[in-house]
Structure 1
């Protein structure tokens, strides 16, 4: 099936692959959030919802609601690393909502969880950027061929976005190699 001009062809399986990648990228830093807020399960629930969709579940309200709740959890903490970890979980929950629009901004749905997780790791290590680069290298190494294929359908990641934007572009470049 050919996509219309200005759109990208996406299957449910493509979205599941992207969601699985995003959840796998967000999970390693979840502890940074939970260490300071052990009674706040919102980021964990967003990652669990992303995994459930990736494994065949419905793309519905649960994903949206848990992603938004994780974003609210990010705003409820004063710890910058914890906030980025919650944003990684939010991005994992939102990854299933990658739009078939041929716009560079859509790359954030594919790579955002990895970039927020990398930034969380940097901040937890006193802004050590080598930690972020390590997370990005790990994400690049674990991205499935399906994720790389989906990414290749979109323009390169856009400029801007601060350090998280830099990390998105670093991973984008690594995957497009």
Structure 2
């Protein structure tokens, strides 16, 4: 699924599927951020923008602006768990901007929200890696064939990234071996 110029072919529906998957992942841990910052709607706004795009909305300024705002919320979060929950929201909004480049870093657009969500969950459980692994397994199970097909168009997830990178690679490997 690569064209003659070496670009990966992505349909609007492919992008919507990736964004829906990311939004669902971020939604699962939003309460972690909101418990710490009940008056801060930036991550929720980013997730809502992602859902709007995933359900047929436009890919535009709202996604970019809310994604950046969620990124700022992550920096302001005060705890690692709340920060990762906000980063999951930022990744959900940015999932719509998956680039058609055969670059391993693009896998973060596909699976970044899920990896940050898993990390937020395990940190909330006292840094319990089993909680993160369970979160990744649940995400593997809910991945639609379209998402796996899009993922397989890209190189495997890159090295690095600490524990979030480890979770990202675990999910990437699990999804690539599926179907």
Partner of 1:173: 173
In structure 1, C-alpha distance between the alignment counterparts of 2:169 and 2:126, rounded to whole Å: 22
In structure 2, C-alpha distance between the alignment counterparts of 1:161 and 1:2, rounded to whole Å: 28
Partner of 2:55: 55
Partner of 2:122: 122
2:63 is equivalent to residue 75 of structure 1: no
In structure 1, C-alpha distance between the alignment counterparts of 2:25 and 2:139, rounded to whole Å: 6
Partner of 1:38: 38
Q: Deviations over 1:131-152 (max 9, x none)?
A: 1001100110001111000001
Residue ranges of structure 2 left out of the alignment (5+ in a row): none
In structure 2, C-alpha distance between the alignment counterparts of 1:2 and 1:122, rounded to whole Å: 37
Residue ranges of structure 1 left out of the alignment (5+ in a row): none
In structure 1, C-alpha distance between the alignment counterparts of 2:172 and 2:79, rounded to whole Å: 27
Per-residue deviation, 1:5: 3.8
Change (3 A) 1:2 1:155: closer
Moved over 3 A (4+): none
Partner of 2:142: 142
What is the Cα-based RMSD across aligned positions, in Å?
Answer: 1.0
Question: The residue matched to 2:127 in structure 1 has which SS?
Answer: coil
In structure 2, C-alpha distance between the alignment counterparts of 1:2 and 1:120, rounded to whole Å: 35
TM score, norm. by length of structure 2 = 0.97
Per-residue deviation, 1:6: 3.1
In structure 2, C-alpha distance between the alignment counterparts of 1:77 and 1:60, rounded to whole Å: 26
Partner of 1:98: 98
In structure 1, C-alpha distance between the alignment counterparts of 2:170 and 2:2, rounded to whole Å: 30
TM score, norm. by length of structure 1 = 0.98
Aligned residue pairs, count: 177
